[in-house]
């Protein structure tokens, strides 16, 4: 644990594209653990794999974390005392530390060519042995090494792994895991391009940034003995490890792009609320120990503990995410929903229309019980934004009779008498028209709904008429009568 006994955790993504939902979960658990324990949440960008670096990925990552509400305390653009927080800006630090390991005999320069390594691997495979480096360059004399360095021969630096050792990893989630050092390769620490490998940079940074808990995905567990050996080579205290369970598709295959969307960006673009995505992702592997499922971010902070994270993999179930979106949309206040709706309208074919906030709030109120996404207000009830150009064939067959036009003419008469009507007055006027025609209210209701919306379902009819207003309602009924002729 670091000398201050303060909890410090980090999310350390590689900028190789969009933030994966698995990455979001790692970031979220680190964030929740830090906030729960008055700790520090660090964002570190691990960009030493230059071949996979994607332009703009860092900005996208930060934007996505901010959108989700996971604000980091130290990191790019928020320099703390342990920066820089981008690994490509820390190369000098890694070289200094590697030099220390070479001096103590814990690391060595390796000048073997890719061809020699490949040949060695093939021979080991033929003999059914584990493929690993044979420490060939460890036997070079100081003079030979110096001469090769002077000649500028390409080389890497490797960790000198001691054989016949038990490497123990104590993990909060997995318990005690043992590894045999004979199965651990003399891993490369510095590549021939001068950049550190993930393993070296990760360990050096976690130590120098005083990271107390390393919380990351289970896929890193096999690398952890290499990290433990590095800590020991430096004579450093180990952090506390917690490896999170894998994420699966419903068919139990590993969550991947092949089976659907895996980037947070995709879910954001589809209109999922950040609250529902964060809530859903939190429950992929963590269990609050109660029946409660719907949480705010604050609620998650209060309930979270690493001890309640499961060992077994978690299934990403899109139906459940949709259900969460439905619930969180209920909890959102009108002002927030209005802001989202206005943004969506601005990107839609209705971008040039203007509606008052008052009208839009009425539409939200009418539609809220019927939708899981704000975008469904536009998709499922376009009649609020434009008059129908067609009428549902089935509803037409079932509801529009020979005398419908004549009945609706009577309704127009009643509506025309109204001045600035409220919802109840539309109901009263319809009732008066039905009485005069000696028919049931229902006969008129179906006809007028079809005339103003073009469909047979939707929110309450009188809500609809009130939102559309008297003039627009009458105009639409007249159009429908004309068209049915």
Show which of 125, 159, 190 is a domain's final residue: 190
The answer on 307 and 321 residing in a single domain is: yes
Instruction: Tell me the β-bridge partners of 214.
Output: 241
Sign of torsion over alpha carbons 225, 226, 227, 228: positive
Distance of CA 371 to the CA centre of its chain: 22
| pLDDT-based confidence at residue 184 (cuts at 50, 70, 90) | very high
CA distance 411 to 409: 5
Residue 3 is predicted with a pLDDT of 45
95-118 residues labelled b (16+ CB within 10 A) or e (exposed):
eebbeebbeeebbbbbbbeeeebe
Give percent above pLDDT 90 in the chain: 91
Position 206 in a domain = no
Please compute the mean of the pLDDT values over residues 13-24 and round it to a whole number. 92
Position 237 in a domain = no
The answer on 483 and 399 residing in a single domain is: yes
User: How high is the mean pLDDT of the chain?
Assistant: 94
The answer on 40 and 27 residing in a single domain is: yes
Least confident range of 123-127, 139-143, 333-337, 396-400: 396-400
Position 319 in a domain = yes
Indicate if the pLDDT at residue 104 is higher than 60: yes
| Active-site residue, 257 included | yes
Contact 218, 247 (CB under 8 A): no
The answer on 180 and 98 residing in a single domain is: yes
Residue 2 is predicted with a pLDDT of 46
Position 163 in a domain = yes
**Cβ atoms within 10 Å of 335's Cβ, excluding its own:** 9
The answer on 485 and 393 residing in a single domain is: yes
Domain that holds residue 361: 332-381
Indicate if the pLDDT at residue 249 is higher than 90: no
Catalytic residue among 119, 254, 257, 342: 257
Residue 260 is predicted with a pLDDT of 61
**Cβ atoms within 10 Å of 164's Cβ, excluding its own:** 7
According to DSSP H, which parts of 235-296 are helical?
264-269, 274-282
pLDDT in tens, 401-435: 889 999 999 999 999 999 999 999 999 999 999 99
Contact 329, 372 (CB under 8 A): yes
Show which of 352, 381, 410 is a domain's final residue: 381
Position 202 in a domain = no
Residue closest to 172 by CA, chosen among 211, 215, 227, 222: 215
Position 218 in a domain = no
The answer on 342 and 316 residing in a single domain is: no
Say which CATH number the domain at 451 has.
1.10.10.350
Residue 219 is predicted with a pLDDT of 93
Position 223 in a domain = no
The answer on 323 and 272 residing in a single domain is: yes
The answer on 377 and 315 residing in a single domain is: no
CA distance 319 to 280: 11
Residue 302, phi-psi category: left (phi > 0), alpha (psi -120 to 50), beta (remainder): alpha
The answer on 151 and 102 residing in a single domain is: yes
Residue 42 vs residues 9, 75, 148, 166, 286: alpha-carbon distances, Å: 6, 6, 40, 32, 22
The answer on 184 and 153 residing in a single domain is: yes
The answer on 403 and 320 residing in a single domain is: no
The answer on 133 and 115 residing in a single domain is: yes
304 backbone dihedrals φ, ψ, rounded to 5°: -75, 140
| pLDDT-based confidence at residue 452 (cuts at 50, 70, 90) | very high
Q: Tell me if the pTM is above 0.85.
A: yes
CA distance 38 to 12: 20
Position 200 in a domain = no
Say which CATH number the domain at 160 has.
3.90.800.10
């Amino acid at each position: 644990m670091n000398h201050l006994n303060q909890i410090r955790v980090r999310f350390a993504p590689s900028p190789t594209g969009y933030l994966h939902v698995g990455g979001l979960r790692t970031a979220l658990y680190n964030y929740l653990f830090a906030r729960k324990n008055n700790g520090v949440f660090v964002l570190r960008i691990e960009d030493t794999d230059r071949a996979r670096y994607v332009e703009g990925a860092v900005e996208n990552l930060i934007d996505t974390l901010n959108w989700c509400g996971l604000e980091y305390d130290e990191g790019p653009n928020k320099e703390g005392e342990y920066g820089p927080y981008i690994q490509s800006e820390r190369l000098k630090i890694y070289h200094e530390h590697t030099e220390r390991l070479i001096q103590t005999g814990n690391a060595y320069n390796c000048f073997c060519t890719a061809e020699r390594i490949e040949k060695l691997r093939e021979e080991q495979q033929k003999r059914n042995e584990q493929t690993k480096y044979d420490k060939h360059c460890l036997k070079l004399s100081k003079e030979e090494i110096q001469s090769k360095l002077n000649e500028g021969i390409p080389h890497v630096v490797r960790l000198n792994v001691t054989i016949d050792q038990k490497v123990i990893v104590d993990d909060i989630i997995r318990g005690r895991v043992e590894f045999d050092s004979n199965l651990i390769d003399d891993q490369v620490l510095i590549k021939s391009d001068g950049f550190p490998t993930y393993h070296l940079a990760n360990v050096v940074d976690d130590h120098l940034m005083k990271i107390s808990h390393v919380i990351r995905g289970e896929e890193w567990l096999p690398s952890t003995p290499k990290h433990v050996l590095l800590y020991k080579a430096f004579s450093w205290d180990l952090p506390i490890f917690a490896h999170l369970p894998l994420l699966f598709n419903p068919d139990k295959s590993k969550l991947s792009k092949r089976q659907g969307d895996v980037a947070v960006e995709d879910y954001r673009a589809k209109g999922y609320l950040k609250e529902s995505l964060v809530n859903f992702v939190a429950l992929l592997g963590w269990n609050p120990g109660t029946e409660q499922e719907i949480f705010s971010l604050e609620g998650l902070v209060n309930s979270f503990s690493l001890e309640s994270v499961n060992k077994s993999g978690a299934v990403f179930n899109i139906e459940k995410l949709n259900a969460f979106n439905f619930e969180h949309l209920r909890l959102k206040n009108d002002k927030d929903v209005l802001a989202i709706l206005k943004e969506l309208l601005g990107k839609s074919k209705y971008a040039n229309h203007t509606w008052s906030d008052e009208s839009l709030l009425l539409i939200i109120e009418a539609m809220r019980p019927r939708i899981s996404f704000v975008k469904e207000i536009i998709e499922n009830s376009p009649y609020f934004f434009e008059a129908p150009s067609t009428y549902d064939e089935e509803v037409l067959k079932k509801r529009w009779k020979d005398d419908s036009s004549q009945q609706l003419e009577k309704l127009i008469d009643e509506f025309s008498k109204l001045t600035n009507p409220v919802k109840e007055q539309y109901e009263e006027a319809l009732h008066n028209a039905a009485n005069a025609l000696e028919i049931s209210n229902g006969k008129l209701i179906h006809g007028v709904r079809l005339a103003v919306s073009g469909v047979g379902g939707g929110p309450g009819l009188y809500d609809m008429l009130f939102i559309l207003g008297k003039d627009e309602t009458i105009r639409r009924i007249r159009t429908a009568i004309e068209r049915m002729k």
